[in-house]
Amino acid sequence: MQEQLAAIEARALADIAAAQDAEKLNELRVAYLGKKGEITAVMKMMGKLSPEERPVLGALVNQTKDRVEGVIAERMAELKRLALDARLAAETIDVSLPGRKLGRGSRHILSIVKEQMEDIFINLGYSIAEGPQVELDYYNFEALNLPPEHPARDMQDSFYFSERMLLRTQTSSVQVRTMEAMGGKLPVKIISPGAVYRRDDDATHSPMFHQMEGLLIDENVTFADLNGTLLAFARQMFGEDREIRIRPSYFPFTEPSAEVDISCFNCGGAGCRLCKGSGWIEILGSGQVHPKVLQMSGYDSEKCSGFAFGMGIERVAMLKYAINDLRLMFDNDETFLESF
Partner 1 sequence: MRVSYNWLKQYIDPGVDAEEMGRLYTAAGLELDEIVSRCKDLQGVKVARVLSCEPVAGSDHLHLLSVDIADEAPLSIVCGAPNIAAGQIVPCATVGTVLPGDFEITARKTFGVMSCGMICSQKELGISEDHSGIWVLDAYFVGQEAPIGAELADALNLKDDVLVIELTPNRSDCMGMLNCAREAAALTGKKVKVPDLSYEELGPEAKEDISIRIEDYTLCPRYVGRIVKNVQIGPSPLWMQNYLLAAGMRPINNVVDISNFVMLEMNQPLHTFDYQQLRGKQIIVRGAKPGESMQTLDGKDHVFSGGEILICDAERPVCIGGVMGGMDTEVTEATTEILIEAAAFHPVSIRKASRKHGIPSEASQRFEKGIDIAACDLAARRAAQLMVQYCGAVADKGLVEDLAPVYADGFPQKEVRLRPERVNQILGTNYTVQEIREVMERLQFAVAEDGDVLVVAIPSYRQDIEIQEDLIEEVARLKGYELIPQTLPVNRSQAGRTEKQKLQLHVCKLCAALGLHEAVNYSFISPKDMDRMQLPAEDDWRRMLVIDNPLSEEQSVMRRSLLPGLFATAARNLSRRHLDLRFFETGAVFVPDQEKPSEIQPQEIQILAMVLGGAPNAAWYSKAQPYDFFTLKGILEALFQGLGLDSMSFRRASRPYLHPGRTAEIALDGQVIGVMGEVHPLVAEAYELTGVGRVLAAELELDKLLNAALERGNKAHDLPKYPASTRDIALIGPAAVPAAEIEAAIRSAGGDYLENVRLFDLYDKEPIPAGQRSLAFALQFRAEERTLTDSEVDAAFAAIVAAAEEKFSYKLR
Considering the complex, what minimum distance in angstroms separates the CB of residue 148 from partner 1? 8
Considering the complex, what minimum distance in angstroms separates the CB of residue 231 from partner 1? 5
- Does residue number 321 form part of the binding site for partner 1 (CB under 8 A)? no
224 vs 322, which CB is nearer to partner 1? 224
- Does residue number 100 form part of the binding site for partner 1 (CB under 8 A)? yes
Sole binder of partner 1 in the list 55, 58, 70, 132 (CB under 8 A): 132
- Does residue number 238 form part of the binding site for partner 1 (CB under 8 A)? no
3-state DSSP assignment of residue 164: coil
- Does residue number 339 form part of the binding site for partner 1 (CB under 8 A)? no
Phi and psi, residue 254, nearest 5° = -135, 150
Sole binder of partner 1 in the list 52, 91, 149, 240 (CB under 8 A): 149
Q: Which of residues 159-198 bind partner 1 (CB under 8 A)?
A: 159-162, 164-165, 167, 186-187, 189, 195, 197
User: 252 preceded by cis ω (within 30°)?
Assistant: no
Q: Which of 236, 238, 247 is nearest to 318 (CA)?
A: 238
Q: Which of residues 273-312 bind partner 1 (CB under 8 A)?
A: 288, 290-291, 305
Considering the complex, what minimum distance in angstroms separates the CB of residue 288 from partner 1? 6
Sole binder of partner 1 in the list 232, 267, 272, 296 (CB under 8 A): 232
The strand pairing partners of 196, in sequence order, are 209
Query: Which residue type sits at 332?
Result: N
Q: What is the DSSP annotation of 270-307?
A: S--TTTTTSSEEEEEEEEEEPHHHHHHTT--TTT-EEE
Q: What is the DSSP annotation of 57-105?
A: HHHHHHHHHHHHHHHHHHHHHHHHHHHHHHHHHHT---TTSPPPP----
79 vs 336, which CB is nearer to partner 1? 336
Q: Which of residues 246-275 bind partner 1 (CB under 8 A)?
A: 246-250, 255-259
Sole binder of partner 1 in the list 88, 224, 240, 324 (CB under 8 A): 224
The 105-124 site mask, x for binding partner 1 (CB under 8 A), equals xxxx-xx---x--x---x-x
Q: Which of 227, 126, 241, 133 is nearest to 177 (CA)?
A: 133
What are the C-alpha distances in Å from 301 to residues 257, 273, 294, 296?
Answer: 16, 43, 6, 10
- Does residue number 208 form part of the binding site for partner 1 (CB under 8 A)? yes
Sole binder of partner 1 in the list 27, 69, 142, 225 (CB under 8 A): 225
32 vs 139, which CB is nearer to partner 1? 139
Axis-axis angle for helices 313-320, 223-238 (nearest 10) = 40
C-alpha 139/C-alpha 196 separation (Å) is 13
C-alpha 236/C-alpha 70 separation (Å) is 70
54 vs 199, which CB is nearer to partner 1? 199
Q: Which of residues 20-79 bind partner 1 (CB under 8 A)?
A: none
103 vs 183, which CB is nearer to partner 1? 103
Sole binder of partner 1 in the list 142, 184, 245, 271 (CB under 8 A): 245
Sole binder of partner 1 in the list 2, 4, 63, 127 (CB under 8 A): 127
Strand 134-136 with 165-167, pairing: antiparallel
Considering the complex, what minimum distance in angstroms separates the CB of residue 165 from partner 1? 6
How many other C-beta atoms lie within 10 A of the C-beta of residue 110? 19
108 vs 320, which CB is nearer to partner 1? 108
